[in-house]
Amino acid sequence: MTRLSVNINKVALIRNARGGNLPDLRKFAIDCEKFGAEGITVHPRPDERHVRFDDIPILKEVVTTEFNIEGYPSKKFIELVISNKPHQVTLVPDPPGVLTSNTGWNTLENQSFLQEVVQEFKQAGIRTSLFLNADITMVEPAASTGTDRIELYTGDYASSEGDERLLQHVETARIAHNMGLGVNAGHDLNLMNLKRYVDSIPSLLEVSIGHALISDALYYGIQNTIGMYKRLTRRI
């Protein structure tokens, strides 16, 4: 079974739209776990437009499954992560101000930089994951950084028709698994495309889903929605 980590950024975005503490991000994280989520993901961006840096220690206190912090490894981000020690840090190549994470690292060009950052997190006892496109040429240099896992960017899979993109994901995941890397995935996975993806990649350890899951919760409620997604992460 692939683990489901719920990204709660959009909940924080709603809270920030009016100020105050409604919805309560801390309580929402607790409830997601109570309803079956096997992890909580956050992505604090430099402009703090959704999850804020001061949310992180509050969430660290209450998340009991897996706490995953995503972000670009700036000095401020690195300090935040090391001071709060989540179970996992996922490194993304987002420049400041980007709307969403829509591509993975070029691990050939950034190999030395990533190796230095990964080692810093690993020395702090934090599992590391690198956000990658489904590109087999990026896997070996990713492995050479010492990362524990990769997270495959699935936006291209979600927007594609036919099998070509899915097959690229399958092959990239296979190579990564054979190199001893754990495989996660995320971005634009939803109730329509998740099952096919999970069934196609036996080594898939975890999916991180936020936008679609929170949107579905507006119709079905968060408890029902988490149950619906979890049923899709069970392989045939």
Residue type, 206: E
Catalytic: which of 33, 38, 43, 66? 43
Q: Considering 50, 169, 177, 187, which one is annotated as catalytic?
A: 187
- Alpha helix ranges (H) inside the chain: 9-18, 25-34, 56-62, 75-84, 111-123, 139-144, 155-159, 164-178, 194-200, 211-220, 222-232
C-beta of residue 146 within 8 angstroms of C-beta of residue 112: no
List the catalytic residue out of 33, 66, 70, 206: 70
Q: Rounded to whole angstroms, how far apart are CA atoms 51 and 42?
A: 7
Contacts of 57 (CB under 8 A, 6+ apart): 83, 84
**Does the active-site annotation cover 70?**
yes
Positions annotated as catalytic residues are: 43, 70, 187
